[in-house]
Amino acid sequence: MAATATKVLRTAGGATQRVQFGHGVEVGGPGFVVIAGPCAVESAEQMEHGSAAVSAAGAHALRGGAFKPRTSPYSFQGMGEVGLKLLHEAGRKQRLPIVSEVLEVTQLPLMLDYVDVLQIGARNMHNFALLRAVSKVSRPVLLKRGFGATLEEWLLAAEYLLDGGNDQVVLCERGIRSFDTTLRNTLDLAGMAWVKERCRLPVIVDPSHATGQQSLVSPMALAAAAAGADGLLIEVHPEPDAALCDGPQALTPPLFEGLMRALPPLLSAVGRTMARPEALAAAVGG
């Protein structure tokens, strides 16, 4: 029989592991956490406007890809180190921890100079060399589910990180491929809830990649909150029509603000609350 995950499993009655993103942002605690920002870092201006908007709306962390895993080699591949610098500057200015994807083992030293949280993307969930390398660094990890991965395979990928010594891991459901190609992916909310029951790691949901469609992002974000997710990953772009990557699924700042206003009453209906925004926590020394 194939080996199954053990280190990621919840002990009977055990609490969810809490993962710190920078100072003051805790994923897996009582507060619901929202990570937001563009798919890709594209320019100083885009980061300036985008980061100010998500911070003003109450996001807890800022995301942005500097190295993009694109299906076509002719698509925008990301700004690389220049992008990491822009993301880092925007995050420090807004007092938000930053999340960015590491594509390759060789990029790790550079990423560690800039980012607070290392994202391992859906296409790399099965990259065991990358998982092993990231397991050896003391930086929190956002591990996305591969779009063709079973729940057990996702847990085993997380097991690589814990087995190597890094237990600061947050899982992210971002939709899987199914027979139905109408939408970009199929959001597996029941799978998220199953993992929450079984696994001691926090689980967040990315309704942006899960749907690929702006109008569906907020409804699925609210559904994820109702179903018990620990937080959300949301793509926000100041000008989605001009985005170099994933524009059709990006929320505008006003749409994101609307989602952030809709979340607290929804969370309160299921006995939960939003986490305090990082900027506020930092301002009061929390």
The contacts of residue 285 (CB under 8 Å, 6+ apart) are: none
Q: How many other C-beta atoms lie within 10 A of the C-beta of residue 243?
A: 20
Selected binder of ligand PEP within 28, 37, 65, 240 (CB under 6 A): 65
Residues 158-177 that bind ligand PEP (CB under 6 A): 174
| Amino acid at position 118, single letter | L
Q: Which residue is nearest to ligand PEP (CB)?
A: 121
Phi, psi angle pair for 140, to nearest 5° = -65, 155
* CB 146, min distance to ligand PEP, A: 8
Size of the site for ligand PEP (CB under 6 A): 9
* CB 175, min distance to ligand PEP, A: 8
Cα of 54 vs its chain's centroid, Å? 14
* CB 243, min distance to ligand PEP, A: 11
Q: Is 122 in the site for ligand PEP (CB under 6 A)?
A: yes
Selected binder of ligand PEP within 60, 88, 95, 144 (CB under 6 A): 144
Selected binder of ligand PEP within 143, 209, 234, 249 (CB under 6 A): 209
**62: closest CA among 78, 79, 41?**
41
- Strands of the chain, DSSP E: 19-21, 25-27, 31-37, 61-63, 98-101, 117-120, 141-144, 169-173, 203-205, 231-235, 273-274
The region of 90-98, 117-125, 221-229, 255-263 touching ligand PEP under the rule CB under 6 A is: 117-125
* Contact of residue 36 among ligand PEP, Mn ion, none (CB under 5-8 Å per partner type): none
